[in-house]
Amino acid sequence: MRYHILATDYDGTIAHHGKVKPKTIEALKQLKESGRKIVLVTGRELDELMTIFPEYGLFDLIVAENGALIYHPATMEEFLLGEQPPADFIQALHQQEVTPLSIGKVIVATWEPHQNKVLETIKHFGLEHQVIFNKGAVMILPPGINKSKGLHTALQRIHYSIHNTVAVGDAENDNAMLQAAECSVAVANALPSVKEAAAVVTKADHGEGVEEMIVQLLENDLASADERLIKHYLPLGKHEDESDFCIAPYRKGVLLAGSSGGGKSTLTIAFLESLVVHAYQFCLVDPEGDYIDFPSTVVLGDPEKEPSMEELKTLLKTSSQNVVLCVLAIPIDKRPAFFNEFLLTVNAIKHETGHPHWILLDEAHHLLPAKMEDSFFKIPESLNNIWLITTQPSLVNKAIMQNIGSIIAIGSEPHGMLHEFSKARNLALNASTVKPLEQGKAWVWNAETNKLPFIISTNEPRHIAKRHKRKYAKGNMDYNSFYFTGPEKKLHLKAYNIVIFTELAEGVDDETWMFHLKRNDYSKWFRYLVHDDELADLTKQVEDTEDNPRRSRDNIINLVRERYTAEA
């Protein structure tokens, strides 16, 4: 289930002339019986709402006063997001005969044409309050308070996410809420501007339109609306025509496969950054400690201590909290059993709330090895939004493959990666045109369509883990090492980190140095394997302009030492 929350406006949406029809109330009850929550978001004051709508207790939460007040009907708890304007401000409006004038616990409201008097009075008192319009109503609220803010806060209190929310409304003051929700719906009687921005517009008006939308929500989770939710899509790179390549935030899983050093972690970090920007919660299982320095996360586990499932449950309860599970302390042969426990834990949370929105498994062949019986893994058919990273699809257990919709293949053998994936999915694939690509490019194949694989240029991340920088400086980069070979391959000098690179660079002969310089090997290594674009750009300038072996060598070594060896 994608949408766990329905947030609806009152006047003009579920209500017509202030009244809600019995059929609309029955439709809302049916929606609750499906396990979803319903939230009423209204500009009305709470006492007034309770008087005209005695069935208010049907809602799990009520956001009243246009986002300024949150009420929990089951517990009768009330929470204010702001304060009322000062008494002398209200008195000044009375003196100017601004009538009617309604005074809530936070909101102060009147009607057009009094908006100019209201604005002048706000200016006179030096207040930062805002004015929000709603089909002739003029609402005065503290800065930053609107239906979006109120809904966000209400969802946080019950541990749900705006990304699992459908919002429905009809007027100007609903726009903030509709723009924030994952899926926006306008009833047929909505203002033209509201309908234009909505992902779904109902055929019927008012409560009947909401009933119509609820039927679709129960039938297929509003699947037809996805094509209009482009603003939520997650960018991964560029097509060959320079248009953006993005993936839907709710979809079958993605398999990222490629040889070691091909750029899998680079693309994964770029994807994580996209999830953070769009506020989708993720949980990443990290077998090698490669992501423990990624910002906006809490890390559970370390080389000596296994991550705790109880701690994981607590952290994932907050939809804005991302989690990295470091499983270095778990022996490889114990990791499949750990994965089953992990998936059971996370899937239970996801089933109830809709988040975490993405699960990422680095070195997925360690967690789901092909050598294990398929039946060992308890993979629910409904599992989606999973990102698997591996060196070879054939190493990953087939039990998970039916949950994977696309493959991104990088490195020197993309044809083989695509073939292994198509075999695991029992699908025919015409990959005769697939060829190796340079670093920073990838083949993409959507197994759910009949389209051919295509090429993208993958996004470069802004973040490089601190651990990586330490590893590049003094650690062992292993298969990402630089090799001084010379034009005739007589040498095989391995620089397995930056420090060793500078030491070898000072000692190699001029012919070997210039061979790699003219092939731009140094800048390529810095860009694609050390992941330092600034160093790569500066080195490329030296490669393109300097023909003297000693000067070019000194320049590049100095650039490296300024950034790495000096601080290491």
CA-based nearest residue to 12, from 140, 138, 168 = 168
42-91 pLDDT, tens digit per residue, is: 999 999 999 999 999 999 999 999 999 999 999 999 999 999 999 999 99
Cα–Cα distance for residue pair 343/359, rounded to 1 Å:
9
Q: Say how far apart CA 345 and CA 311 lie, in whole Å.
A: 11
1-76+146-230 has which CATH code? 3.40.50.1000
In this structure, the number of other CB atoms found within 10 A of the CB of residue 94 comes to 11
Residue pair 369/175 in contact by the 8 Å Cβ criterion? no
Give me the architecture of the 82-144 domain, per CATH: Alpha-Beta Complex (3.90)
Residue 556: count of CB within 10 angstroms of its CB:
24
pLDDT value, residue 57: 96
280 near 304, Cβ under 8 Å?
no
- At residue 293, φ and ψ (nearest 5 deg) are -100, 5
Q: What is the DSSP letter of 242?
A: S
Tell me how far apart the alpha carbons of residues 196 and 501 are, in angstroms, rounded to a whole number.
58
Annotated domain spans of the chain? 1-76+146-230, 82-144, 233-281+314-322+346-458, 471-565
Ranges of H-type helices in 165-298: 175-180, 192-197, 206-220, 264-277
pLDDT under 70: residue ranges of the chain: 463-471, 478-479, 565-568
Output the pLDDT for position 567. Answer: 46
Q: Please, which residues have CB within 8 angstroms of residue 51's CB and are 6 or more apart in sequence?
A: none
pTM for the predicted model, two decimal places: 0.82
CA-CA distances (angstroms) from residue 55 to 19, 20, 209, 376, 534? 11, 9, 19, 49, 62
Fold of 233-281+314-322+346-458: Rossmann fold (3.40.50)
Same topology, domains 1-76+146-230 and 82-144? Answer is no
Nearest to 143 by CA among 82, 206, 190, 225: 82
